Structure 1
Amino acid sequence: MRDESPARLLENAARGAEWAWRDLVARYSSLIHAVCRQHRIGGADVQDVSGAVWLQLVANLAQIREPDALPGWLRTTTRNECLRLLRHRNRQIPTESTTFADSATPAPDATLIGAERLFAARRACAQLSQQDRELLALLFDDPPKSYREISATLGIPIGSIGPSRARCLARVRSTPAIAALLAG
């Protein structure tokens, strides 16, 4: 782990530097776990909360105004994710698994909603440029491609992949079909 400031780590992470992400996770994972423990969250739920917090950071890199206040941002985001998890847990009604064992097929409305979401996503992606579609395909490939592989495939600098991804996803979110789903 390098001895970089949070601002420098965030700047490099936004450019796609893998070492910066590794350093951020190594430096702040214990903070996230401590907040989870304060909310009496343990086990796999800690991993769920942690993953959600890191995804929030990825999604909000450009909006972090005070990078040196990153620990506070992570603490607040973790607390919010913990509270969301606890609210969701309180809504669940424990039942015996045999009660619902025969319901292997999804409800018709769930199938319809899933099909509508898939159709909206395909329609939104069809409106993107060929370059955007190729970038998204490489970013969401299974297994995921490294930024180095994406750079070599598309012929773009590694440092422009993250910002390009952000702009591409913003274009997807702004399409009418996806905007309607996000609003609903």
Structure 2
Amino acid sequence: MSEIDVAGDPLAALQDDGTSELVVRAREGDEAAWSRLVERYSGLLWSIARAHRLGDADAGDVVQTCWLRLVERIGALDDPAAAGCWLATTARNECMGLLRRRARDLAPVPLGARPASGPDEVAVARDRLGRVGAALEALPGRCRTLLRLFAQAASYAELAAALGIPVGSVGPTRARCLSALRRLVP
């Protein structure tokens, strides 16, 4: 059996016609044949995992899973000479499955959402919210009602009806109420 140097080109291993003999011997329990298969195709499997931009741990998991699948299914391979192609396909499928699972596990983030705040930012935001709430309570009833309804996305018509004022007065009244609120927030 001639040796083919596949170190420079991982795909060269796929054309090696000695694979068939190694697979047959590995099926029969020949540990040296298994070692030679692992030696021959590990570079290919690692290059496929790396081509999918997997980190060391994930790439290692993919490579290990490919070898496990071959151990489980070596007896079912129709063409022992195609073991390299079978391993390459298995590696690609494992990589894609891993990437799909990873994408599915990520929680969707709304467009424009800010990253999670640290404890200091949360404390500052709570303090500011408390000051705004206290200032809102200090406003006259009409301003308090208008700003609360406006914060709930009420339309100008709804605001006008709730306050008993013309629709054209809602904008200027809202501006005066917001100005008063800004003056009250320390």
Shorter-normalised TM-score: what interval? Answer: 0.3 to 0.5
Give the TM-score, by structure 1 length: 0.48
Higher-Rg member (1/2) = 2
Give the TM-score, by structure 2 length: 0.47
